[in-house]
Amino acid sequence: MDKAPDLTKKQLIEESNRCVACGLCLPHCPTYRILQSEADSPRGRIAMINGVVTNRIPLNEKFILHLDRCLTCRACESVCPNNVAYGDLIDQARKIILASEMPPHPNQHTRKHQSAFFQTLLASWITRPARLERLRSLIGLLQNSGMFPLLQKTVFSNRGAIARMLKQLPSITFPVDKQHKKRIFQRSWQTFYPAIGQEKGQVGLFLGCIARITDAQTLNAAIYVLNHTGYSVRIPAEQTCCGALHQHAGEPEKAQQLMQQNQRAFSEHDVHAIITTASGCGAQISTTKESFRVIDISKFLIQAADWNTLTFKPLAQKIAIHDPCSLRHVLHDQDYPHQLLKHIPDAQVVFLADNDQCCGAAGAYCIEQPELSDKLLDAKIKILMQSGAQILATSNVGCAMHIASGLRDTGSTIEVLHPVTLLARQIGMQ
Ligand code: SF4
Ligand code: SF4
């Protein structure tokens, strides 16, 4: 079933009726594995959605609780023999929940089942790139001033969602302008980065929202590798958030608006493809009806790069590949990072065990459902420690931040990187 901004009631009933209650998805569902309750399984949730839409059960707090606990990881979809479109069902059910809680005025953020912080983040921050860039500078300055740990322990310590968000943030560094011998605090992206040598084509680069603040390293690495493989990179300034957080929070129309803005921004350029470096964004953009050609960077490089022209420094380390749910269960592109990193001489590249299980990041889940999220993170950290890897490569910024914060808590020295960052380093990026 195509992703649509809105399913009709009839479509919702038809799709949920396609679940034959076989239960094959249950052992793959992270929340069922932890809670062992039917209401926290895909089958149970589908039955509840069907019950609410057909007015057989009430839309009450219990219904909201069990749906909120779903990670939208879509591991259930990957194994369902009937191809039930669970992702569409849960998104639509959340829209129904949201409509049932609508405050009297659109600027009031009074939804009971979401934290005020998350509602403010959705309404006022993630769709405004300029604000995010300023926020990045502010957070980076606080971190560099040494006041950040104190603020976390005092001002923000009782503010659950904010404290958890701050804990996830990596250390923000500012590049140095060598000519003027000063740090550059306000990041700005050029709109064009030319290919090095003969140009093979032009691609667009999708920046994302959170990645602008926390993962400029990966975006710079993507530009570096693309330029070195003969691709010029265009970064339209008008691009915005992909809309995934809105889509999964019950606001598909807002997600659709953001998608249309991105479409307008990129359609002004004659690009070969739109490259994403965060699989969460890639999954959202590529499954929307208005989509243009969107491709995860690892897949693009495997298909388009001429590997004979590149020289890699060897790296005698064990690299574990983590599969973000969006890459594995939605895009089905989980083999490409492995193929990419195998080009590094001496590197031992392995898949992390239990890669079909979510790490607990899941967009805003890590700040909205801390207990379940922590349990999943603990399990992921344990498996990672057991792997003996020195590096974890993951293709989604949210997973990277979440796992890195778990590793910091344990004092581990395992480095968490995007595959393309590692590749750029081995090609020669400083
Ligand atoms: S595997 Fe598919 S059909 Fe079977 S219970 Fe799960 S969702 Fe329903
Ligand atoms: S999306 Fe993930 S958490 Fe939600 S029901 Fe499916 S497997 Fe379980």
- Give the ligand 2 atom nearest the CA of 75: 7
Residue nearest to atom 4 of ligand 1 (CA): 22
122: its two tokens:
């959705």
* Tokens encoding 42: 């895909």
Contact of 318 with 388, CB cutoff 8 Å? yes
Judged against a pLDDT cut of 80, whether residue 198 lies above it is answered with yes
What are the sequence ranges of the domains in the chain?
9-100, 310-427
Mean pLDDT computed over every residue of the chain? 88
In the prediction, which pLDDT does 86 show? 97
Q: Specify the pLDDT at position 262.
A: 93
> Which neighbouring-strand residues pair with 394?
322
Identify the CA nearest to 271 among candidates 337, 226, 307, 209. Answer: 226
* Rounded to 5°, angle at Cα 356 from 161 and 35: 55
Q: Write the pLDDT tens digit of every residue in 259-303.
A: 999 999 999 888 989 999 999 999 999 876 555 789 999 999 999
Q: Which atom of ligand 1 sits closest to the CA of residue 86?
A: 7
Question: Would you say 244 and 255 are in contact if contact means Cβ atoms under 8 Å apart?
Answer: yes
* 294 SS3 class: strand
DSSP letter string over 4-53? -S---HHHHHHHHHT-----TTGGG-HHHHHH--GGGSHHHHHHHHHHHH
- Residue 288 per-residue DSSP state: B
287-315 burial code (b ≥16 CB/10 A, e <16): bbeeebebbbbbbbbbebbeeeebebeeb
pLDDT of residue 7: 75
For the stretch 124-172, pLDDT in tens is: 777 887 777 777 777 777 777 777 666 766 656 556 777 787 777 777 7
Task: Say if residue 29's pLDDT is above 70.
Answer: yes
Fold category of 9-100 in CATH: Fumarate Reductase Iron-sulfur Protein; Chain B, domain 2 (1.10.1060)
Q: Which of 30-44, 47-61, 92-106, 367-381 has the lowest mean pLDDT?
A: 92-106
Give the ligand 1 atom nearest the CA of 46. 7
Residue with tokens 């990187």: 417
Mean pLDDT of 333-356: 97
Residue 348 to residues 222, 391, 404, 420, Cα–Cα distance (Å): 22, 10, 21, 16
Strand partners, 415: 391
Phi, psi of 16 (to 5 degrees): -70, -30
As its CATH architecture, domain 310-427 has: 3-Layer(aba) Sandwich (3.40)
Report how far ligand 1's centroid is from the alpha carbon of 84 (Å). 7
In angstroms, the Cα distances linking 76 to 81, 258, 298, 360 are: 10, 28, 25, 15
Q: Please, what's the b/e burial string for 126-165 (b: 16 or more CB within 10 A of its CB; e: otherwise)?
A: bbebeebbeebbebbebbeeeebeeebeeebeeeebbbbb
Evaluate the CA torsion angle 248, 397, 178, 311 in order and state its sign: negative
pLDDT for 207 beyond 90: yes
Q: Identify the residue whose C-alpha is closest to ligand 1 atom 3.
A: 19
DSSP state at residue 392: E
Which residue's CA lies nearest to atom 2 of ligand 2? 73
What ligand 2 atom has the least distance to the C-alpha of 31?
A: 3
Q: What is the pLDDT of residue 2?
A: 39
Lining residues, ligand 1, CB within 6 Å: 19-25, 42-43, 46, 76, 80, 82, 84
